[in-house]
Amino acid sequence: MSGVQIAEPPAVYWPKPPAVVDCNLIAAIVFDEERLPEALTALQGKQPIAPLLLRFEMANVAMNKLRRRECEFDEAMEGLGYFDRFAIELSDIELPAVLTLAVHYRLSAYDAAYLWLAGELRAPLLTFDARLAEAGRDYLARLPPP
C-alpha cells in the first residue's frame, strides 16, 4: 500500500484577498457620493464580498435618494445598473448566527449579516459605519484561528 491518495478538483483561489463590504461603502461607489475616493482606496487590491441582502439594500438606497430628490430616476437606475455589473461576490448567511451577533452587539440584523460574513471568511470588514466597525473590531479580534 502506498499511503494516502488524494483526488481533488483544481484549486480555486481568490484572485485577490476577500474584504466584506457593506451597503454604505458600495453606495458611495455606485452613486458617486462624496466618500467615493475613500471607498475605492479601501477596496484596492481586494475582492469585495457581501451578503445577498446587499442587492435589496442598494435598491433601498436608490429609493431613498429619489424620495429626498438627491437624484433623478434615470440616475438611480444607472447606479443600480453599475451595481449589477460591479464584481461583488454575494454570499448566503446563517440566520441564527446573525441574530446572535445582532443581539450581542446591538446591531440591526442587516449589519450583523456583514459582521457574520467577515467572521466566517476571516476577512476585513469595510464600512463607513463607526458602530459596525467597532463591533467588527471586537468580534474579529475574538475569533479563534481558522
pLDDT in tens, 62-112: 999 999 999 999 999 999 999 999 889 999 999 999 999 999 999 999 999
Q: Are 113 and 98 in contact (CB under 8 A)?
A: yes
Does the residue 7 lie in any domain? no
The candidate with the shortest Cα–Cα distance to 80, out of 115, 37, 43, 88, is 88
Tell me whether residue 11 is in a domain.
no
Domain that holds residue 94: 18-39+46-142
Asked whether residue 90 is assigned to any structural domain, the reply reads: yes
pLDDT of residue 40: 95
pLDDT recorded at residue 52: 97
pLDDT, average across residues 24-45? 95
Grid coordinates representing 1 are: 500500500
Integer Cα distance of 114 and 71 in angstroms: 27
Is 81 domain-assigned?
yes
Averaged pLDDT of the chain: 92
pTM of the full structure:
0.87
CA distances for 29 relative to 12, 83, 90, 135, angstroms: 28, 9, 17, 23
Residue 10 pLDDT level (bands cut at 50, 70, 90): low
Q: Is residue 30 part of a domain?
A: yes
